[in-house]
């Protein structure tokens, strides 16, 4: 299973479980995350904790899986599923806590922006490498709009 779900001691744990891919999320992984955040939100738990197995919290998107999105409808499905997961995090009525156990790169780092609290081990590494490629990190770009419910502007 690429993403695990467990309720224990009034806490829900969502665990990225692809250590061989640094917990990178493909279409199925994003879908599980979106489903599990909503399930946690309707559970009896007091908070949701999201973490990873192995040496990474998450390396973000599975770039290999993305490279195989050759048709427009498949690419739209992927990004709509990613948005489904992000919307679940933003709309959660319970605190969502990121427990960073190692690398948090790309989308794995960006996803932390949607959590209420982030804690990490001292050796954790955070990076948004899209900037080195001249790209804008897509999830980070959307934070303001969704969080305040209206487009950002400089006027009062």
Q: Which three-class secondary structure state does DSSP give residue 102?
A: coil
Q: pTM of this prediction?
A: 0.87
Other residues' Cβ atoms within 10 Å of the Cβ of residue 12: 23
Q: How far apart are the first and last CA of the chain?
A: 48
Q: Model confidence at 154, in pLDDT bands (50, 70, 90)?
A: very low
How far apart (Å, rounded) are the C-alpha atoms in residues 46 and 106?
29
Q: What pLDDT, in 10s, does the model give residues 10-32? A: 999 999 999 999 999 999 999 99
Q: What pLDDT, in 10s, does the model give residues 63-122? A: 888 888 888 888 888 888 988 999 999 999 999 999 999 999 999 999 998 999 999 999
Q: What pLDDT, in 10s, does the model give residues 28-49? A: 999 999 999 999 999 999 999 9
Instruction: Give the percent of the chain with pLDDT over 90.
Output: 63
């Amino acid at each position: 299973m690429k993403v695990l779900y467990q309720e224990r001691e009034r806490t829900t744990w969502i665990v990225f479980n692809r250590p061989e891919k640094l917990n990178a999320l493909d279409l199925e992984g994003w879908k599980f995350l979106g489903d599990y955040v909503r399930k946690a939100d309707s559970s009896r738990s007091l908070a949701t904790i999201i973490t990873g197995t192995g040496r990474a919290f998450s390396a973000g998107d599975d770039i290999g899986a993305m490279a195989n999105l050759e048709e427009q409808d498949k690419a739209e499905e992927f990004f709509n599923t990613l948005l489904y997961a992000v919307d679940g995090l933003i709309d959660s009525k319970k605190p969502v806590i990121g427990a960073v156990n190692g690398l948090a790169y790309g989308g794995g780092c960006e996803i932390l922006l949607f959590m209420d609290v982030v804690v990490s081990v001292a050796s954790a590494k955070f990076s948004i490498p899209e900037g080195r490629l001249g790209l804008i990190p897509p999830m980070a770009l959307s934070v303001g709009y969704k969080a305040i419910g209206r487009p950002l502007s400089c006027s009062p």
